[in-house]
A = this chain, B = another copy of it.
Amino acid sequence: MTVKIPSSQHPRVVIIGAGFGGLELAKKLRNKPFQVILLDKNNYHNFQPLLYQVATGGLEPDSIAYPIRKVFQGVKNISFRMAEVQNIDSESNCIQTNIGSLEYDHLVIATGSKANYFNFDSISDQFMPLKSVPDALNLRSYILQNFEEAIATNGEELPELINFAIVGAGPTGVELAGALGEMKKYIFPKDYPELDLSRMRIMLFEAGDRVLPAMSAEASAKAEKYIRQFEVEVYLNTPVSAYSGSELKTDTGDVYRTDTIIWTAGVQGAHPEGLDPKSIAKGNRILVDNFNQVQGYKNIYAIGDIAAMISDDFPKGHPMVAPVAIQQAQNLAKNLLSRKADKNPTEFKYQDKGSMATIGRNRAVVDLPGFKFQGFFAWWVWMFVHIISLIGFRNKLATLWGWAYNYFTYDRAMRLIIRPYKRRKHDPQTEKEETAVEA
């Protein structure tokens, strides 16, 4: 079966993935002499940096997800198809998807990344990732389910229910720890007055020697101070080594009881099958040249998290963050047009605009090129940058109003278990036989 697409006299660009990169590329090719087919397994673009706020009841999922069709309403040269790509057949310039096969003149892989569980792959269903809207809703449900379960037993029998472990102290881990800390301080005591919340623990484990390892030492130090103010326990130089389903072991030999492990320790590329294994780099990313062209292919490109553009400046490729994806998309759009006009393409140059993370109300850390600051003003900058980065007027306004509400009421109103999450639970009989893995 072939996916039906309106006929066009223009060359066809098929973009796989409507994340930051894929969506930006399609936008830049609006009303240009290409037929653009944008594919995504979801019918919405998902603003990943705010998923942790959905997970902690601070924002509705609808505020950070945006229907892709709405972005391209009235645009004649762009068609969206909700599809999962199963295979790339570069010989015949064709991809196989769950809705049929589709030919391309140019193929752009913008499939992003997924959680990397490293040696824990076999028990990864014990961990909660935070990469998608369903992930965030599952986590929101699971936190609340565990509190409900704890109160049913007065929290005496199962201390692990109100203990939360976060593995990985990158921005997602740190921001989530801060949000949980806020809930511990402002929400849970009011919702669960019968529980002794001094026994609730939020534990952040990091294999490296500081939180936010990709940011400045100043930002790391301040961020650690801020999350500790929310009674988050920070364990640095502490890789985790085993999990039994209720007990987490670390390399240091310590054991922590917890029913919930949020895994933010690493990501890896998530690409469709069919590319030459030689084009795949470490971390499952696709090797590209300075023009985002996939090594060994003339008309296949990769942008964003999935692309590994190795250079002296970036020996491991660029950081897997939204600004890289967006800038690569912009450059690739230009190059597709240049190529069409027989002009020389432009090499990609990353403009590092800085990075930031927020920790609870009134606190953030910001690293700009040549200018680092933390605290209240940083928090305003963080909010401003995230609001303007959201797609669409509705989502901007909905998020702004959600934040204003949260700020003035000290509330996080979306404490709803809409779809209970069922984790494959440990069997109490075999609990002692924990799954040991090497870290």
Is there an interface contact between B83 and A152, defined as CB atoms closer than 8 Å?
yes
The interface stretch among A232-240, A297-305, A412-420 is A412-420
Is there an interface contact between B42 and A192, defined as CB atoms closer than 8 Å?
no
Is there an interface contact between A73 and B417, defined as CB atoms closer than 8 Å?
no
Which chain B positions have C-beta within 8 A of A152?
A: 3-4, 81-83, 99-100
Q: Top 6 nearest A-B pairs by Cβ distance?
A: A99-B152, A82-B148, A69-B191, A4-B154, A67-B415, A60-B62
Is there an interface contact between A416 and B190, defined as CB atoms closer than 8 Å?
no
Closest Cβ of chain B: how far from A76's Cβ, in Å?
A: 8
Closest Cβ of chain B: how far from A183's Cβ, in Å?
A: 12
Which residues does A use to contact B, with CB under 8 Å?
3-4, 6, 42-44, 60-63, 65, 67, 69-70, 73-74, 79, 81-83, 99-100, 133-134, 137, 144, 148-149, 151-154, 190-192, 194, 392, 394, 397-398, 401, 405, 409, 411, 413-419
Complex Cα gap A42–B6 (Å): 46
Closest Cβ of chain B: how far from A406's Cβ, in Å?
A: 10
Is there an interface contact between A191 and B70, defined as CB atoms closer than 8 Å?
yes
Known: A133-B418, A416-B65, A418-B134. A144 touches B43 (CB 8 A): yes
Copies of this chain, count: 2
Closest Cβ of chain B: how far from A120's Cβ, in Å?
A: 26
Closest to A4 in B: B154
Closest Cβ of chain B: how far from A138's Cβ, in Å?
A: 10
Is there an interface contact between B417 and A43, defined as CB atoms closer than 8 Å?
yes
Closest to A100 in B: B152
Interface centre among A61, A82, A194, A398 (most CB of B within 10 A): A82
Interface centre among A62, A137, A194 (most CB of B within 10 A): A62
Which chain B positions have C-beta within 8 A of A151?
A: 81
Q: Which of B133, B153, B154, B190 contacts A73 (CB 8 A)?
A: B190
Closest to A54 in B: B62
Complex Cα gap A419–B137 (Å): 10
With A44-B417, A82-B152 given, name 8 new contacts (CB 8 A): A62-B414, A65-B416, A67-B415, A73-B190, A83-B152, A100-B152, A397-B405, A419-B419
Q: Which of B63, B79, B413 contacts A394 (CB 8 A)?
A: B413
Which chain B positions have C-beta within 8 A of A74?
A: 190
Which chain B positions have C-beta within 8 A of A148?
A: 43, 81-82
Which chain B positions have C-beta within 8 A of A63?
A: 60
Is there an interface contact between B411 and A394, defined as CB atoms closer than 8 Å?
yes
Is there an interface contact between B62 and A416, defined as CB atoms closer than 8 Å?
yes
Complex Cα gap A154–B6 (Å): 9
Known: A74-B190, A418-B134. A153 touches B4 (CB 8 A): yes
Known: A81-B152, A152-B83, A191-B69. A61 touches B4 (CB 8 A): no
Closest Cβ of chain B: how far from A414's Cβ, in Å?
A: 5
Which chain B positions have C-beta within 8 A of A191?
A: 67, 69-70, 73
Which chain B positions have C-beta within 8 A of A42?
A: 417
Which chain B positions have C-beta within 8 A of A409?
A: 394
Known: A60-B60, A401-B401, A411-B394. A418 touches B137 (CB 8 A): yes
Closest Cβ of chain B: how far from A272's Cβ, in Å?
A: 18
Which chain B positions have C-beta within 8 A of A411?
A: 70, 394
Known: A152-B100, A413-B67, A415-B70. A194 touches B6 (CB 8 A): yes
Complex Cα gap A413–B149 (Å): 35
Which chain B positions have C-beta within 8 A of A81?
A: 148, 151-152
Complex Cα gap A82–B398 (Å): 30
Which chain B positions have C-beta within 8 A of A69?
A: 190-192, 415
Closest Cβ of chain B: how far from A86's Cβ, in Å?
A: 14
Closest to A149 in B: B99
Closest to A414 in B: B62
Closest Cβ of chain B: how far from A4's Cβ, in Å?
A: 4
Which chain B positions have C-beta within 8 A of A417?
A: 42-44, 82
